């Protein structure tokens, strides 16, 4: 597994050399931010500049290419104004899943309204439903199903936040705060993540019915 503290030191040095005082925010997302990384985990870095041009994208790519584990580097790169005007439902997960390294994302909080979180739940459920149906009918792809279960855990985080006001970063802790149906989705995801084989028909049906429920029912009652 990558020594993320050492890697981030190299990254920060290169980033400051490339963009200097134009940097508005640096953060880390995903499994490395949660302390749950495995040997195959990506490095999800967040970089927000004062503004971003096509030339900046080329400079950032050139900066990343010599870094160790280049094939694992991904994340989010944006100008500040673009982020401030982003779709609010996307900002919910973005804000709460990002660990600040330099700077703050608190300017986003006023946009993360109850309506934005509701929209995050509805969009998440709709996307999962559509992809699950497509996979059941056409692709029959186990890897795609695993990815849909991962996406469902993000939607469950939004459901929990809307119902309790708490964002729960770690899935093992989230299990204690959600209903049995959501627990089953999380447990299935954790099992396949840890190497258990997918039971395609049963796991697909479980996810399909779960997504259908969140599309058609009013969970705020």
Q: What CATH number corresponds to the domain at position 100?
A: 3.30.460.10
Domain end position, chosen among 109, 125, 151:
109
pLDDT at 218 over 70: no
Nearest to 155 by CA among 139, 133, 131, 191: 131
Q: What average pLDDT does this structure show over 1-16?
A: 97
Nearest to 147 by CA among 184, 182, 193: 193
Domain count of the fold of the chain: 2
The DSSP secondary-structure symbol of 170 reads S
Percent of the chain with pLDDT over 70: 98
**Burial class of 35 by CB neighbour count within 10 A (0 to 12, 13 to 18, 19+):** exposed
61 with 137, same domain: the answer is no
CA distance 74 to 47: 11
* Residue-level pLDDT at 221: 47
CB 29 within 8 A of CB 46: yes
143 with 211, same domain: the answer is yes
Domain end position, chosen among 109, 129, 153:
109
- Would you say residue 221 lies in a domain? no
pLDDT at 5 over 90: yes
Which tokens go with 46? Answer: 């967040």
Record the pTM: 0.93
Q: What is the mean pLDDT of the chain?
A: 97
* Residue-level pLDDT at 219: 56
102 with 8, same domain: the answer is yes
pLDDT one-digit tens code per residue, 143-152: 999 999 999 9
Of the pLDDT bands very low, low, confident and very high (cuts 50, 70, 90), residue 217 is: confident
- Domain hosting residue 77, numbered range: 4-109
105 with 128, same domain: the answer is no
90 with 148, same domain: the answer is no
Domain end position, chosen among 89, 109, 129:
109
């Amino acid at each position: 597994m990558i020594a993320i503290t050492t890697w981030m030191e190299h990254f920060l040095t290169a980033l400051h050399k490339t963009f200097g005082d134009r940097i508005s925010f640096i953060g880390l997302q995903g499994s490395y931010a949660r302390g749950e990384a495995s040997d195959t985990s990506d490095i999800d870095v967040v970089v927000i500049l004062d503004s971003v041009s096509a030339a900046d994208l080329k400079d950032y790519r050139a900066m990343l290419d010599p870094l160790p584990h280049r094939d694992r580097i991904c994340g989010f790169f944006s100008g500040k104004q673009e982020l401030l005007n982003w779709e609010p439902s996307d900002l919910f997960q973005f804000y709460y899943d990002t660990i600040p390294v330099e700077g703050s994302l608190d300017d986003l909080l006023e946009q993360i309204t109850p309506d934005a979180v509701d929209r995050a739940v509805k969009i998440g459920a709709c996307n999962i439903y559509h992809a699950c149906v497509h996979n059941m009918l056409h692709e029959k792809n186990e890897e795609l199903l695993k990815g849909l279960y991962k996406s469902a855990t993000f939607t469950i985080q939004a459901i929990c936040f809307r119902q309790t006001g708490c964002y729960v970063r770690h899935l093992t802790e989230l299990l204690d705060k959600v209903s049995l149906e959501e627990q089953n989705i999380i447990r299935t995801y954790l099992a396949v993540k840890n190497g258990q084989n997918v039971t395609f028909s049963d796991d697909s049906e479980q996810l399909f019915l779960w997504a259908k429920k969140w599309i058609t029912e009013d969970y705020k009652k």
